[in-house]
């Protein structure tokens, strides 16, 4: 089967985003937020069937790890209480999708992060997502300030309580920022990729996996700039006196295939061990158009993986095997269904 | 001939950096800086002959576009007056190198930028570099805050007075940040590459070259994450309603070859028109070690360009032709020497 590790609910019924606007307006005005609106099962079903499910099927994939819209997490907006309510609403909506389409979507939660707020405060929502909603992972924002980078690096002990819970629950985290409130950074064209690059280099500098050998982090968007500059990172690790990357970080770090052209995927599979690559498309998401050079959607990443020169065994790891290993709760759910 | 567009004076005699420390200490203490130390011609000669000149010759290149050490620009340190004095001292030292080795080094200036200070205040030093010192380009820091990104994007009119002067002088700028004062960003492993990616996306979002068709910007380190995600950028340009990249930005933007492994250079030359690629190594700089996989220095980028599957004509553009076109003052200097 083909598991897409990276999809966001970018097509949620419009009252969901409208309520978010009302929530933030109420926060600004010092009023309580209005009640969350009614959304019918039909509306949820329709928002998925004509979009992600249709494209998933058309492209021959089987299941998407589905999380709330990343750019709308907006951890920099409002305050902690606002983020708590919003994260809960977003995760509950994901749960409805996974209940309506259990064969095609597994849940990945967003966290109620807020700048300056201890990450320990996100642990209860992580536990709720995994233990009550049946989610198999979460998205962790390394920069809840939205492009001002005011938090400590991911290797700082401030993050440790969260890593301990991830390990206890045996779920990985995808390192994924949200929108940018810094006008230097276009979210999709700069902030996302910069965050991927930044997170990886923090891991090279530190020794997070010496401390937490059971921690697994997915770095999306093909690892940002990292595979393209793989020689730079190999050289920097040596200059910093760190072990080689395969021993130091690549037992715990995974890159997805959200790289939207064949040469990029060719490079990714050429320099990164297939054990460290997870199929992903971020569909429907960052780049929605059709590539005039190919006639296919930019984010139809299955075409690139199929077109890349890797062995069938490596391709099977990228499409399925790695996901089952990195997301053991997904594997358990699939096995319980005989898949 | 082979022109390396990207070298910094990372091996300056030690009294240069010691004076910088004294300058900053004096600033912190509210005292005047001590006088700049004496550095003999022999010391300058020795610092170059055993280092950049030796490696340049060993690797079969001919000339380096040489600028002050990027990580030491430190625009976020001190204040504008401190930056003015430091930039002048750094540029004067580059001038001594180009005078001692006129066949092997051409000067590229650093600017006396300082956070919140209008870029117009850097124009006099640019003019001094070009008109008095004979430099052929400058480095422009898009983030003088050192990793806090408090300046407006490069497409903002705040930068326009500087672009007007670049065009008047007919010199390009390399977009190059300095050290990071934000502990999230390792300078060489994150901040540099993020800045390259960020700058490119700003150019995609804006219409800077519609306004300044004569402006030429070099984005170093192989363009950050950009070529690896070339499909993403092509798709984003379309989504933003911008013209295709080749019409919109690639008449004015150039990537260097500071990508430290063969697969990265293969991707670069595979997706980017050879007209937009300038040979560069950043030697002696970011990554100084020997790649155990090849037995050669990571930053010996000539090996990768030689090993890449491009035509002789394309390789000649990358090594020489483009540099003569992008840096017309370099071309004029070379021609005056019969080269």
In this prediction, residue B35 carries a pLDDT of 97
Question: Which residues of A are part of the catalytic machinery?
Answer: 282
CB-based contact, A236 to chain B, within 8 Å? yes
> Would you tell me how many other CB atoms lie within 10 Å of the CB of residue A306?
12
Tokens of A86: 């919003």
CB B283 within 8 A of CB B247: no
CB-based contact, B153 to chain A, within 8 Å? yes
Supply φ then ψ for residue B219, to 5 degrees.
Answer: -105, 115
Question: Which residues of B are part of the catalytic machinery?
Answer: 282
CB-based contact, B6 to chain A, within 8 Å? no
User: B137-152 pLDDT, tens per residue?
Assistant: 999 999 999 999 999 9
Q: Test B189 with A232 for CB contact under 8 angstroms.
A: yes
All residues of chain A having their beta carbon less than 8 Å from the beta carbon of residue B202 are 184, 186, 190
Tokens of B68: 């002050």
In this prediction, residue A34 carries a pLDDT of 97
CB A327 within 8 A of CB A171: yes
H or E stretch at A138: strand A137-140
Of B183, B185, B236, the CB nearest to A188: B236
Of A152, A186, A261, the CB nearest to B205: A186
The complex's ipTM works out to 0.98
Of A230, A259, A298, the CB nearest to B264: A230
Which of residues 237 through 296 in chain B touch A, CB cutoff 8 A?
Answer: 238-239, 259-261, 263-264, 266-267, 270-271, 286-289, 291, 293
CB-based contact, A194 to chain B, within 8 Å? yes
Tokens of A170: 């045996």
CA distances (Å), A61 to each of A2, A14, A150, A323, B33, in order?
5, 27, 38, 13, 66
User: A188-236 pLDDT, tens per residue?
Assistant: 999 999 999 999 999 999 999 999 999 999 999 999 999 999 999 999 9
CB A141 within 8 A of CB A73: yes
Q: Test B202 with A184 for CB contact under 8 angstroms.
A: yes
> Is A317's pLDDT higher than 90?
yes
CB A91 within 8 A of CB A133: yes
Question: Least CA distance to B304: which residue of chain A?
Answer: A231
Count, residues in chain A: 339
Q: How far apart are CA B214 and CA B167, in angstroms?
A: 6
Q: How far apart are CA B51 and CA B80, in angstroms?
A: 32
Q: How far apart are CA B273 and CA B280, in angstroms?
A: 16
Contacts of A246 (CB under 8 A, 6+ apart): A273
Rounded to two decimals, what is the model's pTM? 0.98
CA-based nearest distance B202→chain A, Å: 7
Q: How far apart are CA B339 and CA A138, in angstroms?
A: 60
Q: Test B264 with A149 for CB contact under 8 angstroms.
A: no
Supply φ then ψ for residue B337, to 5 degrees.
Answer: -100, 10
All residues of chain B having their beta carbon less than 8 Å from the beta carbon of residue A264 are 228-231, 267
CB A136 within 8 A of CB A95: no
Q: At what angle do helices A262-271 and B230-239 cross, to 10 degrees?
A: 150
Q: Test B225 with A227 for CB contact under 8 angstroms.
A: no
User: B124-134 pLDDT, tens per residue?
Assistant: 999 999 999 99
All residues of chain A having their beta carbon less than 8 Å from the beta carbon of residue B233 are 189
Which of residues 319 through 338 in chain A touch B, CB cutoff 8 A?
Answer: none
Q: What would the DSSP string read from start to end of A2-55? A: -EEEEEEETT--HHHHHHHHHHHHHHHHTPPPPPPPP--HHHHHHHHHTTHHHH
In this prediction, residue A43 carries a pLDDT of 98
Owner of token pair 């089952």:
A324
Of A185, A231, A259, the CB nearest to B260: A231
In this prediction, residue A328 carries a pLDDT of 98
Ramachandran quadrant class, B66 (left: phi over 0; alpha: psi -120 to 50; beta: rest): beta
> Is A111's pLDDT higher than 90?
yes
CB A98 within 8 A of CB A37: no
Alpha carbon A123 to its chain centroid, in Å, reads: 17
All residue ranges of chain B with pLDDT < 50 are none
Q: Test B189 with A289 for CB contact under 8 angstroms.
A: no
Q: Test B260 with A289 for CB contact under 8 angstroms.
A: no
Which candidate, A124, A211, A129, places its Cα nearest to that of A171?
Answer: A129
Q: How far apart are CA B166 and CA B129, in angstroms?
A: 12
Kindly indicate the confidence band of residue A286, based on its pLDDT and cuts at 50, 70 and 90.
confident
- Mean pLDDT for chain A? 98
Q: Is B338 exposed, middle or buried (0-12, 13-18, 19+ CB in 10 A)?
A: exposed
Burial B75-97 (b: 16+ CB within 10 A, else e): bbbbebebbbbbbbbbbebbbbb
In this prediction, residue B286 carries a pLDDT of 79
């Amino acid at each position: 089967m083909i598991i897409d590790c990276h999809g966001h609910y970018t097509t949620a019924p419009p009252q969901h985003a409208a309520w978010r606007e009302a929530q933030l307006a109420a926060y600004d005005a010092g009023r309580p937020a209005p009640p969350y609106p009614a959304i019918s099962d039909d509306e949820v079903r329709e928002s998925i069937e004509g979009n992600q499910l249709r494209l998933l099927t058309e492209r021959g994939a089987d299941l998407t790890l589905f999380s709330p819209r990343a750019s709308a997490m907006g951890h920099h907006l409002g305050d902690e209480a606002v983020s708590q309510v919003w994260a809960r609403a977003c995760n509950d909506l994901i749960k409805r999708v996974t209940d309506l389409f259990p064969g095609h979507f597994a849940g990945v939660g967003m966290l109620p992060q807020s700048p300056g707020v201890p990450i320990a405060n996100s642990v209860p929502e992580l536990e709720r997502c995994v233990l009550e909603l049946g989610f198999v992972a979460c998205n962790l924002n390394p920069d809840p300030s939205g492009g001002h980078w005011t938090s400590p690096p991911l290797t700082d002990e401030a993050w440790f309580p969260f890593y301990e819970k991830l390990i206890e629950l045996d779920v990985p985290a995808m390192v994924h920022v949200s929108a940018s409130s810094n006008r230097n950074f276009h979210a999709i064209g700069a902030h996302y990729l910069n965050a991927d690059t930044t997170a990886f280099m923090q891991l090279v500098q530190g020794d997070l996996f010496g401390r937490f050998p059971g921690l697994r982090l997915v770095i999306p968007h093909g690892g940002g700039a990292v595979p393209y500059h793989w020689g730079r990172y190999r050289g920097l690790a040596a200059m910093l006196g760190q072990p080689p990357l395969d021993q130091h970080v690549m037992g715990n770090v995974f890159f997805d295939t959200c790289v939207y052209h064949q040469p990029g995927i060719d490079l990714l599979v050429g320099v990164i061990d297939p054990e460290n690559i997870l199929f992903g498309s971020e569909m429907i998401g960052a780049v929605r158009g059709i590539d005039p050079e190919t006639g296919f959607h930019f984010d139809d990443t299955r075409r690139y993986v199929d077109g890349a020169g890797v062995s069938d065994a490596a391709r099977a790891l990228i499409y399925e095997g790695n996901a089952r290993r990195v997301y053991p709760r997904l594997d358990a759910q699939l096995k319980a269904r005989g898949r």
